[in-house]
Amino acid sequence: MVDILKGSKKSEEVHNPLVDSFTVSGKLKSSFKEISKILSAVSFLEVAPESNAINVAYVESRDINGKPYTFTLLRIKKEEASVVYSIPPNIAPNKRKLDVVRYFINILNLMGKNYQVETRLVFSLIEDAVKGLGELIDKESSKVYIEYDTMKKEVAQLRSKASSLKNQNEELKNKIYELKNQNEELTLKLSKFEAISDESLKTRLVEWIRDHSGKINIPEFSKVYNISEGRVEDVLNMMVTEGYLSAAR
């Protein structure tokens, strides 16, 4: 068998791929020399004939050390053909097997009548690979549907939260307007409550004049009781007119 696993000197640690194989019964109809001539014409194939077999290597990729990583080894004997192939970790085993079976069928087509394999055996390989791939797809589909359902539920929850927040926001706005109106009403009531009536103002003016030897400093009085000077003067004039006070001469 072709020793394609020999590579350059090891420079870094590389994880070897998995390896699998299958064998089918066949029958040599011409000669290994003829088959070797046909397959050697394919540029990407490495063909190594032996006295009782032909080894065909197809290297799709190599690792960083130059060693074959993704490869297929076909050994053709007079009454059987065996295939050994690698399975990289980033490729599903069933998918890889289907690709290798397709490659094997292409080699059989190249050999034509020089080498024959029973059709039922080829169909069996295809059916087995497709079945495994179908199971993989079913699993992946189930996984996708589960993820989709989960995401759908999360989206529904987010929409519900968004709607709830929107309603809460509207309620908050209404509450703010309500509080604003209440505040305005309270401010109005407070201003009315704090406003001194004319009669109360007259009483305070009388008390102030009595306590200050019959005199009044209007700016000072206005500042103490937080009443405009104009209003104080108006009420004083009213009190003089009504006879409560008499202006000094």
Tens digit of pLDDT per residue, the chain (249 long)? 445 554 444 445 567 889 999 999 999 999 999 999 999 999 999 999 998 999 999 999 998 888 999 999 999 999 999 999 999 988 888 888 888 988 998 999 999 899 988 878 878 877 777 776 666 665 656 566 566 667 777 767 767 777 777 777 777 777 777 777 777 777 666 565 456 777 888 888 888 888 888 888 999 888 888 888 888 888 888 888 887 777 665
Say if 187 falls within a structural domain.
no
User: 144 is written with which tokens?
Assistant: 């996708």
Q: How many residues does the chain have?
A: 249
The domain that holds 104 is classified in CATH as 3.30.310
What pLDDT, on a 0 to 100 scale, did the predictor assign at position 85? 95
Contacts of 95 (CB under 8 A, 6+ apart): 133, 136
- 176 inside domain: no
Q: Is residue 184 part of a domain?
A: no
How far is CA 232 from its chain centroid? Answer: 74
Q: Tell me if 144 is assigned to some domain.
A: no
DSSP letter at 16 equals P
Determine the structural domain holding residue 231 and report its residue range. Answer: 198-242
Judge whether 1 and 52 are in contact, CB under 8 Å: no
Whole-prediction pTM value?
Answer: 0.50
Whether residues 101 and 206 share a domain: the answer is no
Asked whether residue 107 is domain-assigned, the answer is: yes
The residue out of 78, 99, 133 marking a domain boundary is: 133
Give the model's pLDDT for residue 207: 86
Q: What per-residue string of b and e applies to 38-70 under the rule 16 or more CB within 10 Å gives b?
A: bbeeeeebbbbbeeebbbbbbbeeebeeebbbb
Closest CA to 25 of 114, 124, 118: 118
**pLDDT at site 198:** 79
Say which residues have a Cβ less than 8 Å from residue 33's Cβ, sequence separation at least 6.
49
Structural contact between residues 35 and 76, judged by C-beta atoms closer than 8 angstroms: yes
Q: Which two tokens stand for residue 23?
A: 């064998």
- Burial level of 136, CB count in 10 A (0-12/13-18/19+)? middle
Res 182: pLDDT: 76
DSSP 3-state percent helix, strand, coil across the chain (nearest 5) = 55, 20, 25
Domain count, the chain: 2
User: Is 156 domain-assigned?
Assistant: no
Domain final residue pick, 102, 133, 164: 133
Measured in whole angstroms, the distance separating CA 213 from the mean position of its chain's CA atoms is: 86
Q: Is residue 143 part of a domain?
A: no
Q: Are residues 24 and 124 in the same domain?
A: yes
The answer to whether residues 121 and 32 belong to one domain is yes
Q: What is the pLDDT of residue 136?
A: 62
How far apart, in whole angstroms, are the C-alpha atoms of residue 46 and residue 41?
A: 10
Residue 87: helix, strand or coil by DSSP?
A: strand
Domain end (from 94, 113, 133):
133
Q: Is position 180 within any domain?
A: no
Shared domain for 24 and 111, answered yes or no, is yes
213: alpha, beta or left? (left if phi > 0; alpha if psi -120 to 50): left
